[in-house]
Amino acid sequence: MRALVGTAVDCGSARENVAVIVENGFIRDVVPRERVGEYAVDEVYGGDGYIILPGLVNTHTHVAMARFRGLGEDFPIERWLNDVIWPAELEWTREEIRRWALLGMAEALANGSTAINDHYFFAGEIAEVAKELGIRAFIGQTVMDTIDFPIAEPEEGFRFFKKWAGKDELVTPVLAPHATNTVSLELMGEIGEFARERNALIHVHISQSRGEVLEVKRRYGLSPVEYLERAGVLGDDLVGVHGIYLSDSEVSLYAKSGATLVHCSLSMAKLEARIAPIIELAERGANIALGNDSPNPVGMMDPFEEMRFAAVLNKVWRKRTDVAPAKEVFRWASLGGARALKLKAGLIKPGYLADLVLINARKPRFLPGENPYSHIVYSTRGSDVELVMVNGEVVYKNGMLLRLGKTLEELWEELRPSGR
């Protein structure tokens, strides 16, 4: 049995001087810290000046793209994909995928993401790395059929799902059609049928470029959201990503469906100089989650950075300072992601998964400490994360990836180019 001591903050409340008691992978109790002695606790972490958070859910990632960090800078998304990323991806080997997926995943974990929802090629290799690292991972093999891309063969997506379904407590396979313009309506319908039979999540890019919207309209006479509805996949098992070109009618249809929209404000602002109509989606009842997208283009796998940009960019985009308040953005990063992935997580309550993050807030920028939500979104950096617990197990502490027995610096040494 373990205890985390400090100020426990979730999107429902902030409770000072408490102990979060963890047993058998779940939160057993949340009590005043002086009551820790009532439990058979073996390890106590935190104390004065520490903040306990529910694990942040990185609901859209491509962790292995750490390999491409810094490439294609300042390109619009279609040039970035066609001229830089896709040619580079065709050079992947299984060994390289494992090395760089480990780096990207370790970075996300160390910065406070207890769960990722990854969408990429060679999904089996990424799943193995997640298992080794101890992160909670939802992983899908990217598939396409309207363009020739050998590592994205549709059958490989189904094969990966069948192989990993029920195989590991922390690794959950999902279905990962690439986007509405790279997956035919027929294949998307087949994916929907498979998902219903297997009770699976579908993770897909939607309306991430103007070219995508125009291509779907040309091909089917539909908007991307109408395409998803026609294919039979628009529902609460759908985790859609980006949505920066959604029309007002699409916003209403999407929100009504129960699907989640993952907001990746930093990557879309950088690649398309736009962000999604998240405020309108939220106002109409849609579930919103956050994702770092990938180390290229955003530069780092830091969910706190993503929260900060989501809060600020929505204010700029809407020209309103009252939108995207800190508490709501924190909800997107925690409970919103947990709901998208159907996890009993995102809150610090008895019976919830013990996916927890301990922040060392014993630093001047956390004072005076009167508004914890503001401090989480605007003051916290990933480097403030001292400990990460997944399923009740401490998997990261003070720079050490405990399952691997390696530090972040050792990973850097292994992967850095010689002489740099």
Which pLDDT score is estimated for 24? 96
Longest dimension (CA), the chain: 67
CATH number of 56-340: 3.20.20.140
What is the DSSP secondary-structure string of 158-200?
A: HHHHHHHTTT-SSEEEEEEE-BTTTS-HHHHHHHHHHHHHHT-
Domain boundaries, the chain: 2-54+346-410, 56-340
Asked if residue 203 lies in contact with residue 140, where contact means CB atoms within 8 angstroms, the answer is yes
Indicate if the alpha-carbon torsion angle 389, 391, 394, 398 is positive or negative: negative
Q: Does the global pTM surpass 0.95? A: yes
Distance of CA 141 to the CA centre of its chain: 16
Asked if residue 132 lies in contact with residue 98, where contact means CB atoms within 8 angstroms, the answer is no
Which pLDDT score is estimated for 72? 87
- Cβ atoms < 10 Å from Cβ of 117: 28
CA atoms within 13 A on the CB side of 12: 7
Residue 70 structure tokens: 């810094």
Which pLDDT score is estimated for 76? 87
Which alpha helices (DSSP H) does 347-407 contain, by range? Answer: 372-374
Which pLDDT score is estimated for 245? 97
Instruction: Select the CATH number that applies to the domain covering 2-54+346-410 from these four: 3.40.50.180, 2.30.40.10, 3.50.50.60, 3.50.30.60.
Output: 2.30.40.10
Which pLDDT score is estimated for 1? 95
| Dist. CA 213–CA 206, nearest whole Å | 9
Residues across the chain? 420
| Dist. CA 243–CA 224, nearest whole Å | 9
Residues of the chain with pLDDT under 50: none
